[in-house]
A and B are shown apart, each in its own frame.
Chain A
Amino acid sequence: MNESAELLLDRYEPHETGQIVVEPQVTEARFSPCGRFLAATGFDARVRLWSITGEKPTELPAIVGHNGWVHSIAYHPTESILYSSDSWGQIRATRLTDEAPQEHWTCPTAHDGWIRQIDISSDGNLLASAAPDRDICLWSTRDGSLITKWKGHDEDIQSLRFHPGGNLLATGDARGLVKIWEFRTGKLIREFDASSLWLLHRLQDVGGARLIRFNPIGTQLACGGVKPSSGGTVQGEPTLLVFDTETSELKANLTFGVANDCYLQDVHWTDDDVLICVTSGTPGAGKLIMRRIEDEKAFYETTKMPNCMSVSLLSESSDPRNARQSKQLAVVTTNRNSNGNGRRINKNGEYEGNNSPIFLFRLGKKV
């Protein structure tokens, strides 16, 4: 291990501080920027909430009123407002408190169907959303009014992300085409070819541009997912393609495992250019991986958590000199033995679902 990697490990090595076992499953958990809340989306039309200001997380009343799956959440950068979207086309804004969450506004028919992703602009004024209806929509975060929308892809849109610079929005579709838009005019600025993350297998479009991330200064765009080798039971290498934002040039093609590691589910790109990544894997597989783009290999990797779905970093300061004392990580996983054909009945004769252990970590050396 070179010195640089050792220093990175000093800053980022995870030390488990606890688990929250959530039932039924959740697929995404995010710390609020203020560091007071942890929110998780799931399969039961709720947003689960915890206060994390005490010694241990304390569950708060959930956000209800959604339908289907709550699939994406995003926080206002400066206010305690959480935005959530569901698979039936609804977007909600909820003010978080230490008691019950308070509805801020609701748009029940923002899209016709499964909203794949929402994001909040860096100034906190705009919410972007996209769904298989192929509409890219911009909403006012203040009152939920629609500001503009346009159709930008010929395929289902799977991901989107605001550029940190404030006037660009990136969207990615089911066949791996990523586009950057000047969102105030809807003008297409640039396209990125991430089609290696897509495969037409028999009838099935497999993969696509499942996630988009920018580095903190916006000079690089990363598109992640799987480099698929088959459909049905999807197999393929978890992959992140890193492009130069200005030129669309592919700068790096990072692989995070083998075929049964499947999707790269989530990536957090830190201020000091560390990629904290999780892969879902076939049931029982999956990894938490930390690496930098320029390094040949990860400086940290663990397979102790099966089927990782999301990773969230809580950093009280963007200054790495301070952050080493306060960084926390939340990783959503799935219980072991989550799969299996046929009936699986518990001792009470009930058919059981699965649950999601959320692993909580403190990062870096203990001070």
Chain B
Amino acid sequence: MNPNSSLCMPNEHRLSRRRLLGTAAGAVGAFGLGGLLQPAVANELSKKDKQVLFIWIDGGMSQFESWDPKPNTLFGGPFRAIPTSVPGVHISELMPQTAKQMHHMAIVRSLCTQDNSHSAGVARIQRGDPKNRGVTYPYFGSAVSNLLGPGSSNLPSYVWIKPGSGGFIHEDAGFLGPKYGALAFGDGKPPENLMRPESISESEDEARHQLRGIVNAHYANRRRPVVSEANKYVFDTARTLMHRRELFDETAFSERDRERYGTHEFGRHMLIGRKMLEAGVRFVKVNSYGWDTHGDNFNGHLSLMPKFDQAYSAVIEDLAASGMLDHVLVIAMSEFGRTPRINGHIGRDHWPESWSLAMAGCGVKKGVVVGKTNDKGTFVDSDPLDIGHMFHTWFRALGIDPNETQFSNAGQPLPIAHDDLHACEEVLA
């Protein structure tokens, strides 16, 4: 319940290039490198240019104050609902800019998930809550990274733009192995000491690279391939990033974009996220913290939502205008919603029983609302959708058939999404 607790703010370490290399390599021992069970499928999928923008609203955005308003009802709160660009679809008045982009979007209002705590909920949601088989499943970003590969950009396939510090978050990868972990850029900044020092010339750096290749080959000869592959991956990642410093150059953003996305942290990070997508990163996660509004929920959302609205609507508008929305799947969600009941601190608590998320982009119908809650917003009043349903849906939207595709956990075939659940056909294009 305390937003300052470790439950709400995972404690990532700061990242330097040296630590990036050390952390990932050190993790190899704990995690085997996984992969697709069917390499041919992986090769086929990797040719596609599908990308994901995963917007993670950490702590729990209120569905009442966003995607599923219930104005003038017992638990509806103070705010109005406003019409959107899709006739008949209304969202909270706190999202006027997003309302103009509704014709690109799909809202799911019938989420009913299993966990009401941050500590378990964040991971459970982002891992798709599959059947318990005694293994740690990958986060969605790691799964996509594994299933679709890095693409032709040679950039890291799973990056995370987040407030605070960065790091190589190998834990996200679960049994897939550290290669598929998240490379987190704290405050959108590159890892410390990433850039080549001025005292080292380009030719000297190239010579060092050649020497490292020789040493690495020697190192790899005496170790299992999974270890050497991970080791090579993190070195290559660092080297790739060294040559792409423009990705982190915020001064290159136009003044118009700064204003549209917002000069606040979330706006800046979303703009960097867009840049990463444009550069070809397969999976970009953009993160906002501070949404755990057990107290003063309505003033909290009155302050928070306009910033979300600004950045979210801008990126949808831009991806649509550039045509990227045809191949980028955009998902905006939290680990749960917030209670209908308003507590004595004028807050809303955690509520996984009936909440919402928003999607847009490749494979997703435009301008639809799927599922509904009852008139008070207390429970789902249509077929409830668990996160497993959404994983099936997202994989399908990305062109991956979750019924035909499996992970390999050191040879053990494992389903990529909960094997008893299925995609939500209503939202798929």
The answer to whether A and B assemble together is: yes
Q: Which residues of B contact A27 (CB under 8 A)?
A: 346
Which of the candidate stretches B21-29, B171-179, B250-258, B302-310 sits at the interface with the other chain? B302-310
In Å, the complex CA distance between A68 and B342 comes to 14
Q: Which residues of A contact B326 (CB under 8 A)?
A: none
A206 to B4, CA, bound (A): 15
Interface flags, B260-298, vs A, CB<8A=1, else 0:
000011100000000000000000000011111111100
Q: Which residues of B contact A44 (CB under 8 A)?
A: 74
State whether the Cβ of B203 lies closer than 8 Å to any Cβ in chain A: no
Asked if A202 contacts B345 (CB within 8 A), the reply is no
Whether the Cβ atoms of A352 and B344 lie closer than 8 Å is no
Count of A interface residues, CB-CB < 8 Å: 53
Q: Does B303 lie within 8 Å of A204, measured CB to CB?
A: yes
**A87-B79, A334-B344 known; A203 vs B264 contact (CB < 8 Å):** yes
Complex Cα distance A281/B349, Å? 15
Q: Which of A262, A343, A344 contacts B345 (CB 8 A)?
A: A262
CB-based nearest A residue for B308: A203
Beyond A24-B74, A339-B345, A351-B378, whether A203 also contacts B265 by CB under 8 A is yes
A283–B346 alpha-carbon span in the complex (Å)? 9
Check B343 against A354 for contact (C-beta < 8 Å): yes
Chain A residues within 8 Å of B79, by CB: 68, 87, 114
A29 CB to nearest B CB, Å:
15
Cβ contact within 8 Å between B78 and A263 = no
Interface residues in A21-69 (C-beta closer than 8 Å to B): 24-25, 27, 43-45, 67-69
Alpha-carbon gap, A204 to B296, bound state (A): 11
Q: Say how far B207's CB is from chain A's closest CB, in angstroms.
A: 45
- Which residues of B have CB within 8 Å of A2? none
B126 to chain A, nearest CB (A): 19
- B343 x A339 contact (CB < 8 A): yes
Which of A67, A202, A341, A352 interacts with B71 by CB under 8 Å?
A67
Residues on B with beta carbons closer than 8 Å to the beta carbon of A43: 74, 77, 342
| Cβ-defined partner of B116 (8 Å) among A307, A334, A342, A354 | A342
Whether A174 contacts B346 in the complex (CB less than 8 A), given A202-B290, A342-B351, comes out as: no
Decide if A286 is an interface residue (CB 8 Å cutoff).
Answer: yes
CB pair B304 A204 closer than 8 Å: yes
Q: Is the CB of B345 within 8 A of A283?
A: yes
Who on chain A is nearest to B8 by CB?
Answer: A232
A234 contacts B by Cβ under 8 Å = yes
| Contact of B379 with A351 in the complex, beta carbons under 8 Å | yes
Question: With A and B bound together, what is the CA distance between A284 and B302 in angstroms?
Answer: 24
B117 near A341 with CB under 8 A, answer yes
Determine which residue in B1, B343, B353 has the highest number of CB atoms from chain A within 10 A of its CB, and name it.
B343
Q: Is the CB of B74 within 8 A of A234?
A: no
Given contacts A280-B344, A307-B344, A339-B344, A353 and B74 within 8 Å (CB-CB): yes
Q: Does any Cβ of B come within 8 Å of A201's Cβ?
A: yes
CB distance A232 to B344 under 8 Å?
A: no
Q: Quick check: B290 and A232 within 8 Å, CB to CB?
A: yes
Chain B residues, Cβ within 8 Å of A88: 80
B321-349: CB near A (< 8 Å → 1, else 0) gives 00000000000000000011111111101
- Known A68-B80, A202-B265; contact A306-B344, beta-carbon cutoff 8 A: yes
- A354–B349 Cα distance when bound, in Å, is 13
Chain B interface size band reads 35 or more
Q: Which of A112-157 contact B (CB under 8 A)?
A: 113-114, 132, 156
For residue B233, CB closer than 8 A to chain A, the reply is no
Whether B341 pairs with A354 at a CB distance below 8 angstroms is yes
Least Cβ–Cβ distance between A163 and chain B, in angstroms: 26
Q: Which residues of the other chain, A, contact B77 by a CB distance below 8 angstroms?
A: 43, 68-69
Give the complex CA separation of A333 and B345 in angstroms: 10
- CB atoms of B71 and A68 under 8 A apart: yes
Q: Provided the pairs A114-B78, A202-B163 are in contact, do residues A338 and B343 lie with their beta carbons within 8 angstroms?
A: yes
CB distance from A166 to the nearest CB of B (A): 31
A68 to B4 CA separation, bound complex (whole angstroms): 31
A4 at the interface (CB under 8 A from B): no
What is the number of contacts between chain A and chain B, taking CB atoms within 8 Å?
155
- A interface majority secondary structure: loop
* Chain A: CB-nearest residue to B302: A132
Cβ of A353: which chain B residues have Cβ within 8 Å of it? 74-75, 340-342
> Per-position contact with B for A320-364: 1 when CB-CB < 8 Å, else 0?
000000000000011100111111100000011110000000000
A352 / chain B contacts, CB cutoff of 8 Å:
341
Q: Does A71 contact B (CB under 8 A)?
A: yes
User: A-facing mask of B72-88, CB < 8 A → 1, else 0?
Assistant: 10111111100000000
Does A270 reach chain B (CB closer than 8 Å)?
no
Contact of A234 with B295 in the complex, beta carbons under 8 Å: yes
Is B2 an interface position by the 8 A CB rule? yes
Q: Are B264 and A67 in contact (CB under 8 A)?
A: no
A230 contacts chain B at the CB level, 8 A cutoff: yes
Whether A185 is near chain B, meaning CB under 8 Å from some CB there, is no
Shortest CB-to-CB span from B239 to chain A, Å, is 33
Contacting residues, chain A, for B379 (C-beta < 8 A)? 351
**Bound-complex Cα distance A339 to B347 (A):** 8
1/0 per residue B1-28: CB within 8 Å of A?
1111000100000000000000000000
Task: Provide the residues of chain A in CB contact with B163, threshold 8 Å.
Answer: 202
Nearest B residue (CB) for A70: B78
Q: Does A216 contact B (CB under 8 A)?
A: no
A283 to B289, CA, bound (A): 22
Q: Is the CB of B294 within 8 A of A232?
A: yes
What is the CB-to-nearest-CB distance from A28 to chain B, in angstroms, rounded to a whole number? 12
Distance from B68 Cβ to chain A, minimum over Cβ atoms (Å): 16
Q: Is B59 an interface residue (CB 8 A)?
A: yes
Name A227-251 residues within 8 Å CB distance of B: 230-235
Specify which of A201, A204, A286 lies most central, judged by the most chain B CB atoms within 10 Å of its CB.
A204
Q: Is A230 touching B4 in the complex (CB atoms < 8 A)?
A: yes
* Contact status B351-A341, CB under 8 Å: yes
The 10 closest A-B pairs by CB, nearest first: A307-B344, A334-B344, A87-B78, A232-B3, A341-B350, A339-B343, A202-B290, A338-B344, A233-B294, A342-B116
| 23 contacts across the A-B interface (CB closer than 8 A) | A24-B74, A25-B342, A68-B76, A87-B78, A202-B288, A203-B265, A204-B300, A206-B303, A232-B8, A232-B59, A232-B292, A233-B1, A233-B294, A234-B295, A234-B296, A280-B344, A283-B294, A306-B344, A307-B344, A334-B343, A339-B344, A352-B341, A353-B341
Question: Contacts A114-B302, A262-B296, A306-B344 given; 16 further ones with Cβ under 8 A?
Answer: A67-B80, A69-B78, A114-B79, A156-B302, A203-B303, A203-B308, A204-B300, A206-B303, A231-B3, A232-B3, A233-B2, A233-B3, A280-B346, A340-B339, A341-B351, A351-B376
